[in-house]
């Protein structure tokens, strides 16, 4: 009888031990005065393995112990076979700590909030989106045609669903069929925050990208690379690789550019936003590295806000007839990181220039005060 009781006790205890990955806790500290909403954070996978050595990538969940709810996550590979980071999307109030745990279990089917793809059926476009906004840039097939454009294009949207495939399939994305549209004009400009060399007070545009690679594709972050062939930038031969990431819940892309060129001197570059002929609202902050442009309202289509945040030293900002520019410089074969993106008033989240300026200012402050992650 005692033996049977012992067996029964072990059986009753099994679920407890089988569901627990570790007694350790993931602590996410927000030491700033700003609430962080829908923030996507990255925890190095090596750190996860150190603290949860028996973790099964197909059989674990991240839980908020207070709410008992699962936290959306993504295993980020950065284009490699091995996992590089565990991405989590969290809300953390100002001056507070969010504590989470990892347990064995089947993860929910998390909503896909980011997506990116090469679009060969539309002259080599590359398009990407999240649950807030969408973008595209132009490829080899459209070069030297009347449709060619040099900068980043914005596709406004008023739905949190992924719409790129639907719009390309419909082939009528210049008309709003209920989820937004493409009314943004790029042309011979840097569009919505592209970067290019700036030699002798002249923007030295590259050709369009000729190669691409998707590194990760949702549900919380999509990252891809665009490769540009060598071009003559005012007497300097330059080659570029752009790595663009878009997180769920963000209006802005993280853009990391690497330029290869001859010589030891830094290469002058600019980040630019196309300026419309009609009056818009421009706000520039060289010290903070922020450019904000609330475009003039486009008839019945509404108003788009475009903005960029530079993390490198800004040498100057200027406005000419065609573009708003922020001047900085980059060293050979060293990454330069900045953020660029857009918002649409009809999406119902950012309705005017003051709200757009506030969003960019808050975003800049969040870059300067990242969430602090520890596992104990």
**Structure token digits, residue 238:** 């330059």
What CA–CA distance (Å, rounded) separates 120 from 100?
A: 42
Q: Is there a common fold for 19-108 and 114-368?
A: no
In order of 57, 59, 219, the CA distances from 16 in angstroms are 20, 15, 30
CB half-sphere exposure, 184, CA atoms < 13 A: 35
Q: What is the pLDDT of residue 17?
A: 34
What CA–CA distance (Å, rounded) separates 344 from 295?
A: 10
Looking at domain 114-368, which CATH architecture does it have?
Distorted Sandwich (2.70)
pLDDT tens per residue, range 223-255? 999 999 999 999 999 999 999 999 999 999 999
Boundaries of every domain in the chain: 19-108, 114-368
pLDDT tens per residue, range 298-335? 989 999 999 999 999 999 999 999 999 999 999 999 99
Looking at domain 19-108, which CATH architecture does it have?
Sandwich (2.60)
Alpha helices, DSSP H only, in the chain? 2-19, 45-51, 164-170, 353-368
What CA–CA distance (Å, rounded) separates 362 from 156?
A: 22
CB half-sphere exposure, 165, CA atoms < 13 A: 6
Q: What is the pLDDT of residue 264?
A: 87
CB half-sphere exposure, 224, CA atoms < 13 A: 23
Q: Global pTM?
A: 0.93
For every one of its 376 residues, what pLDDT tens digit does the chain have, with 9 covering 90 and above?
444 444 434 434 433 333 445 689 999 999 999 999 999 999 999 999 999 999 999 999 999 999 999 999 999 999 999 999 999 999 999 999 999 999 999 999 999 999 999 999 999 999 999 999 999 999 999 998 989 999 999 999 999 999 999 999 999 999 999 999 999 999 999 999 999 999 999 999 999 999 999 999 999 999 999 999 999 999 999 999 999 999 999 999 999 999 999 988 999 999 999 999 999 999 999 999 999 999 999 989 999 999 999 999 999 999 999 999 999 999 999 999 999 999 999 999 999 999 999 999 999 999 999 999 999 9
Sheet holding 36-44: strands in order across?
A: 36-44, 85-92, 73-76
Strand partners, 347: none
């Amino acid at each position: 009888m005692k033996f049977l009781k012992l067996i029964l006790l072990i059986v009753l205890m099994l679920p407890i031990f089988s569901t627990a990955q570790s007694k350790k806790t993931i602590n996410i500290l927000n030491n700033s005065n700003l609430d962080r909403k829908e923030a996507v954070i990255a925890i190095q996978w090596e750190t996860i393995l150190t603290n949860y050595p028996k973790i099964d990538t197909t059989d674990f969940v991240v839980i908020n112990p207070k709410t008992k709810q699962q936290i959306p996550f993504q295993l980020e590979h950065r284009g490699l076979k091995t996992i590089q980071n565990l991405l989590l999307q969290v809300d953390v109030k100002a001056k507070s700590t969010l504590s989470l745990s990892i347990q064995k279990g089947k993860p929910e089917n998390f909503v896909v909030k980011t997506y990116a793809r090469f679009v060969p059926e539309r002259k080599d476009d590359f398009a990407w989106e999240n649950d807030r906004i969408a973008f595209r840039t132009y490829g080899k097939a459209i070069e030297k045609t009347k449709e060619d454009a040099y900068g980043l294009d914005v596709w406004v949207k008023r739905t949190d669903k992924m719409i790129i495939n639907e719009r390309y399939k419909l082939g009528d994305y210049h008309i709003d069929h209920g989820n937004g549209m493409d009314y943004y004009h790029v042309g011979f400009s840097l569009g919505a925050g592209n970067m290019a060399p700036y030699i002798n007070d002249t923007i030295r545009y590259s050709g369009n990208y000729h190669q691409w690679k998707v590194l990760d594709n949702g549900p919380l972050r999509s990252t891809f690379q665009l490769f540009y062939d060598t071009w003559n930038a005012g007497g300097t031969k330059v080659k570029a690789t752009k790595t663009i990431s878009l997180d769920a819940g963000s209006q802005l892309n993280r853009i990391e550019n690497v330029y290869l060129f001859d010589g030891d001197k830094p290469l002058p570059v600019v980040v630019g936003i196309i300026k419309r002929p009609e009056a818009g609202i421009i706000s520039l902050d060289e010290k903070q590295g922020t450019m904000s442009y609330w475009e003039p309202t486009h008839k019945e289509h509404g108003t788009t806000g475009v903005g960029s945040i530079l993390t490198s030293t800004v040498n100057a900002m200027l406005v000419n007839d065609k573009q708003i520019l922020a001047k900085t410089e980059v060293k050979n074969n060293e990454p330069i990181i900045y953020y660029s993106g857009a918002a649409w008033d009809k999406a119902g989240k950012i309705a005017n220039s003051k709200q757009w300026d506030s969003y960019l200012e808050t975003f800049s402050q969040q870059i300067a005060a990242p969430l602090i992650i520890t596992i104990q």
